[in-house]
Structures are given as C-alpha cells and as structure tokens.
Amino acid sequence: MLSVILPEGVCFSHWTAMRLNDLWGPTSWDPDRREPLHVLRTSAAHPTRLPTVADHRARTPPCVRLQNLTVPVVAPEHVFAQLANKLGPLQLVVLGDSVVRWRSGRTKALLRGALQPGERGVRRARAALEEVREGSNSPEETRARLILADAGFPEPSLNAPIYDADGAFVAFLDLYWEEFKVGYEYNGQWHYASEEQLERDRRRIERIEATGVQVFVSTKDDRNAMGPVIWGLRRAMGRRVSRPRAWN
C-alpha cells in the first residue's frame, strides 16, 4: 500500500529491502511488532513523514524492480552494505551467504563492490567477506560450515552434485569433501513435516551413500551440540586417508 503513495526518487531500503529480497535476517517478520518500513531518498526527494516509515537520506544505490511493487528495492548486495553496522560478525557472514546463495547468480565481487570507503560498518563488512562463500543454501548450512571450519576441517564444496559410477546425477549435498568422499546435510524442520518427506529423505541419503559417500546429518537440535557430528566426520575422514590428518 505504501508503494502506491511514495513520491518519485525513493526506494525501499535497509531491513525492508532485506525482507523484500528474501534475504536472511536475525528475526522473522512479525506484523504485531510494528516494524517500520525503511525507505531511502535522495536529497531532492521529499521526506516521507509517516509514523510507519523510517526515512533515510543518502545517495541511492543500484535497485531492483520486484513484481507487484511500483517502488524499486535496494539491490541485495547493497543491503549487505547498508546493514553492515547493524549486525554482528556471524550475522553478517550469514547475510552475505544469503546474498550470494546457491543459484542466485550473484558473486562475492558484487558484495565487495557495494562497499564504499568511509561508509559506516565497511571494515566489519570486509572482515565478514573473508568468511562468506558462494553456493550456500540456508543460514544453518552457513553456521555448520563455520563451526566445522573453526574445528579445523578443510574447506568443503557447497551444494555439490553427486554422481554414480555411470555418471548419472544422484543429488546435491550441502557440504562435501570430495577428497574423503564424506558429506554433511542439514535437515530443517520441513524435512520432518510428514512421513512421506521423511521417507524421501531416507531414500535420498541411501542413494548418495550407494555411490560410496558417507553422509552425516544434523538438525536444528544439533546446532549447539555439534560434537558428535565433528567426531564422526573426523573418524570417517581419518579412515579414508593413507596418513592421519593433523587436526587444528
């Protein structure tokens, strides 16, 4: 409704652009919280004086047009820059991963190019970029990847395609260490929504493991207790190398 009455020269920005671009955020949308709608305008545009609007004035970054909206929305990579001083280091990595997520067509180079010297939070954003990786498909995949990196595991491939002995595609695997033929899957709540979904997931893991890849699965309940997964991955990798790996 607001997009119909906003003046020329404004766009949705900051937290509102994050949600409209379907990026990860630290909180879910809750209409009862009365979260303001963030708009960005140039100095020439009239301010939006509404109690439901957070009005920002700055140089307008590149925007995108979304279906059913008459007002443009700040492009995802520039949302990362706008929120750099609002999020913690881990949150920024998760947001960055969601910008360059699997099949998004966006790259870390876009994120880097959106950071302008002198802007608030630019140092924090550049530090987070060191940990951002293209190809993740969920915040929990990102968190698991960072936990495993801190535990000394080598860099995995993200959403890697797995093929059988005949070269036929089997499935994508969240995290995959090809050298060891070991993988990791995070199953969110929707994986447990029905018996049918549980059966599909079980058969999918069976097909992957039939190719010789050992798969470790965790859920939301394991987020703060990754010890068994870490132990299992280390043991599996150790069995598949000729020399023991020196873990950090």
Q: What is the pLDDT of residues 195-235, one digit of tens each?
A: 787 788 889 999 999 999 999 998 876 666 788 999 999 99
User: What's residue 189's pLDDT?
Assistant: 57
From CA 247, how far away is CA 74, in angstroms rounded? 43
Nearest Cα to Cα of residue 213 among 174, 167, 177: 177
Could you write out the three-class secondary structure of 100-143?
CCCCCCCCHHHHHHHCCCCCCCHHHHHHHHCCCCCCCCCHHHHH
SS3 at position 157: strand
Determine the average pLDDT of the residues in 184-192.
Answer: 72
From CA 15, how far away is CA 26, in angstroms rounded? 10
2-40 per-position pLDDT tens digit: 777 787 788 999 999 999 999 999 988 887 888 899 999
Q: In degrees rounded to 5, what are phi and psi of residue 98?
A: -70, -25
pTM of the model: 0.88
User: What's residue 190's pLDDT?
Assistant: 52
Q: Which residues contact 54 (CB under 8 A, 6 or more apart)?
A: 14, 36, 37, 38, 39
